[in-house]
Amino acid sequence: MSFRALCIVFSFMTFFLYVVLVGSLFYFLDRTVFVERLLSERALFSIQLSILAASVATLISVIVAVPSAFALSRFAFPGRGIVDTMLELPMIVSPAALGAMILIFFNNPVGEWIQTNWQQFVFTVYGIILAQFVTTCGIATRLIKAAMDEIPVRYEAVARSLGATPAKAFLTITLPMSKRGILAASILTWAKALGEFGATMTVAGSMAMNTETLPIAIFMRLSTADIEGTVALILILISIGITLLYAVRLLTRNTHYA
Amino acid sequence: MLEATGISVKVGHFLLNKVSLAVKKSHCHVILGPTGSGKTLLLESLMGLRKPDTGRVLIDGVDSTGLPIERRRLSYVPQDLALFPHLTVRDNIIYGPRVSGTRNDTNVDELVSSLGIEHILNRATHNLSGGERQRVALARALASECSYLLLDEPLSSLHESLRKELWFLLKDLLKRYGLSILMVTHDLEEAFFLGDFISVMIDGRIRQEGNKGDIYNRPDDLEVARFLGIRNLFQGELTEITGNVLTVFSDELGASVRASAMTCSNHSRPDFEVDAKVVLGVRSENMEILRRDHTAKASYNKIGGVIETILDKAASFLVTVRPHCFSACQRTLEAELPNHVFHDLRLEKGRNVTVFLHEEKVFVIPYESRR
């Protein structure tokens, strides 16, 4: 077998792994139960909450990530290496541990003060958004930085030579040129936030019709042996995820700057 | 005037070493040098993209070393042009006037018309041909009405005919708008065509500067001579100085050659002394192969030899001649002859010929400069 064929076999092995897993869901799929579960008040609440929380968390993540990514992509400053490394914290620390860290923070004097005088996070929707923000912000920054790294600094240099201030060059050149990368990063961040379970569960708990996001609902259905309900919710999550990932592929193709 | 005084920048192991130059108003100043000689680094330092370790940048007499890029008023056209891909041609051109709040549609219309790009104003930049891209980049740089235009090999990626077409366009723009240009290139023909003043940069240092005639005919040292494509370079010893005439005996040629002192490098002209070791050189196109009845020529600077190779360059012939020496000569002379001269002389391989070196076309370089 040629090297090329061997590599293709491996890629199909990975593909079939997921196809088999998704396919096995259909073994337990009962159309009547699927429609009933999908249209149940509790499922619809979970879907709405998941979409709302993921959207808000993504919006905040991207607002923070864009300037951070630009700084890391363009400027040399003290501590840049440490900041860059810390962005990977959500990737190396498990989501449950991140959630535990958030809980511990809200049990120290500063956290307690915030909860008492400003906003209650633990066991609330705000806790879900915070947990999702903490797990996605670093990834969003890393993805947007990668998009900005693709854009040669010369474009900004030319813009500035034509009279643009650094801020104007960023707003009129770098930002529009990295638009597709930022959009793709936003979608991936949203998908990651939508599927987030560990940190959300730890910070916000699993209160039905209150803090029950889609992944938490899946866990709750499974823990009560409601397989049909679990399958219905998983298929919804997969449908949303696959649609988004395909959108990312469409957005990121043919983007290349010399 | 745009001036650099003693600019030094270290990047990795490369050092831009105390570079000084002055770009006069309404002149095209060319920095000519091989790839990796530091030309782009110098432009970036003048632009403000790199902070020089030492030295100053003066723009119209004002010390601008610490000024941000946008306040220097130096338009920059990089090698890849960096046309903004998300903007149309029109928006690219008016980018400068728009961000600096100096938009003047009449000036822009006139500029667009003089560059012949009216028909592509609404096009996206990725739909442009190579020549159109160059014109748009020039229009964008000129529309901002900066004091100086910095060009970083902007024509290097174009094919020959288009490149030459743009040379004429640049010449026309230079005259029409009284542009002050600092351009870097490794292309000798481009430098001599466009440059009013040329600085030759090698290994991070300006090795020679002067008008194009000086640079072309009187290289200061061996490296500059080699970079300029001069292959007839021979070691020798200065045997006589009579008025303005130097006589050099070269072992490598097995002959004495006279050179007018006027053709010795005037930039770092040494006080030549008899017995000093020197290198003499002459461009291959300045060599003459004499007819058999060459009695009218002077009695000196004639070197007899045998034709070793003949290369047909389509527009000319390159003839190498091995001189007759007492001991076998290691070096050959190269003469480039126009087609009609070559055919008129009926030269062929193995024929004995006499090569004549015009005294005023031979230059002499101190031996110390040989590395």
The DSSP-derived string for B277-308 is EEEEEE-GGGEEEPPTT-TTS-SSSEEEEEEE
pLDDT score at A178: 93
Q: Please, what's the b/e burial string for A10-39 (b: 16 or more CB within 10 A of its CB; e: otherwise)?
A: eeeeeeeeeeeeeeeeeeeeeeebbeebee
DSSP B33: -
A152 to chain B, any CB pair closer than 8 A? The answer is yes
Write down the mean pLDDT value for chain A: 89
For the domain bounded by B2-217, which CATH number is listed?
3.40.50.300
Question: Cβ separation of B99 and A257 shorter than 8 Å?
Answer: no
- Rounded Cα distance between B353 and B308, Å, is 11
Conformational region of residue B26, where left means phi above 0, alpha means psi within -120 to 50, and beta covers everything else: left
Position A254 scores a pLDDT of 61
Of B70, B125, B157, which to mutate for an interface test with A (greatest number of A Cβ within 10 Å)?
B70
pLDDT tens digit at each of 371 positions of chain B? 899 999 999 998 899 999 999 999 889 999 999 999 999 999 999 999 899 999 999 999 899 998 999 888 899 999 889 999 999 999 999 999 888 887 677 778 888 888 888 899 999 998 898 889 989 998 999 888 888 999 998 787 778 888 888 888 888 888 888 888 999 999 999 999 999 999 999 999 999 999 888 888 888 888 999 999 999 999 889 898 888 888 999 888 888 899 886 655 544 455 678 888 889 999 998 888 887 766 656 678 888 889 999 999 988 999 999 888 766 667 889 999 999 999 988 888 999 899 988 888 898 888 765 44
Pairwise CA distance, residues A16 & A20, whole Å? 6
Q: What is the DSSP string of B317-363?
A: EEEEEEEP-SS--S--EEEEEEHHHHHHHT--TT-EEEEEE-GGG-E
The whole-angstrom separation of Cα B185 and Cα B188 is 8
Q: Mean pLDDT across the stretch A220-249? A: 86
Closest by CA to B89, choosing from B129, B120, B56, B46, is B120
- pLDDT for A207 equals 86
Is the domain B222-369 a CATH 2.40.50.100 member?
yes
For A57, other C-beta atoms within 10 Å of its C-beta total: 28
Domains located in chain A, CATH noted: 29-252 (1.10.3720.10)
B364: phi then psi, degrees, rounded to nearest 5: -125, 135
Give the gap in angstroms from C-alpha B48 to the nearest C-alpha of chain A.
Answer: 9
Which pLDDT score, from 0 to 100, does residue A240 have? 85
Of B47, B84, B140, the CB nearest to A173: B84
Comparing CB atoms, the residue among A164, A172, A179 nearest residue B70 is: A164
Q: Count of A–B CB contacts within 8 Å?
A: 69
Distances, alpha carbon A132 to alpha carbons A50, A95, A140, A204, B40, in Å? 10, 9, 12, 11, 46
Q: Which residues contact A157 (CB under 8 A, 6 or more apart)?
A: B47, B49, B69, B76, B78, B82
Q: Are the beta carbons of B70 and A157 separated by less than 8 Å? A: no
Positions of CATH 3.40.50.300 in chain B: 2-217
Helices (H), chain B: 39-47, 89-93, 95-99, 105-114, 130-143, 160-177, 188-194, 212-217, 222-227, 339-345
Q: Which residues lie across from B184 on neighbouring strands?
A: B31, B152
* Among the ranges given (A20-24, A136-140, B326-330), the one the predictor scored with the smallest mean pLDDT: B326-330
Token couple for B93: 């051109």
- Which residues of chain A have a CB within 8 Å of the CB of B95? 159, 162, 164, 172
The residues on B that touch A, with CB distances below 8 Å, are 47, 49, 68-70, 72-78, 80, 82, 84-86, 95-96, 99-100, 102, 140-141, 144, 146, 150
pLDDT at position B297 is 63
Supply the pTM of this predicted model: 0.80
Which of B75, B85, B86 has its CB closest to that of A161? B75
Residues in chain A within 8 Å Cβ distance of B74 = 161
pLDDT band at A258 (very low <50, low <70, confident <90, very high): very low
Contact check, Cβ <8 Å, A163/B70: yes
Residue among A203, A171, A186, A172 nearest A244 (CA): A186
Kindly report the three-state secondary structure assignment for every residue of chain A. CCHHHHHHHHHHHHHHHHHHHHHHHHHHCCHHHHHHHHCCHHHHHHHHHHHHHHHHHHHHHHHHHHHHHHHHHHCCCCCHHHHHHHCCHHHHCCHHHHHHHHHHHCCCHHHHHHHHHCCCCCCCHHHHHHHHHHHHHHHHHHHHHHHHHCCCCHHHHHHHHCCCCHHHHHHHHHHHHCHHHHHHHHHHHHHHHHCCCHHHHHHHCCCCCCCCCHHHHHHHHHHCCCHHHHHHHHHHHHHHHHHHHHHHHHHHCCCCCC
- Which residues of A, range 156-195, sit inside 8 Å of B by Cβ? 157-166, 168, 172-173, 176-177, 179
Helix axes A227-252, A41-74, angle to 10 degrees: 30
Integer CA distances (angstroms), B226 to B134, B222, B246, B364, in order? 31, 6, 22, 14
Handedness of CA B32, B36, B38, B40 (dihedral sign): positive
Q: What is the pLDDT of residue B268?
A: 45
Q: What is the pLDDT of residue B264?
A: 53
- Of residues A180, A168, A173, the one with CA closest to residue A144: A180
A73 has a pLDDT exceeding 70: yes
**Measured between alpha carbons, how far is A257 from A151 in angstroms, rounded to an integer?**
6
CA A123 vs CA A102, A129, B151: distances in Å: 12, 11, 62
pLDDT tens digit sequence for A31-40: 888 888 888 8
- Say if the Cβ atoms of B144 and A177 lie within 8 Å: no
Contacts of B184 (CB under 8 A, 6+ apart): B30, B31, B32, B33, B39, B40, B42, B43, B151, B152, B153
Nearest to B74 among A152, A161, A257 (CB): A161
| Reported ipTM | 0.80
3-class SS of residue B133: helix
Mean pLDDT score, A200-206: 90
Neighbours of B175 (CB within 10 A): 10
Residues of chain B with CATH 2.40.50.100: 222-369
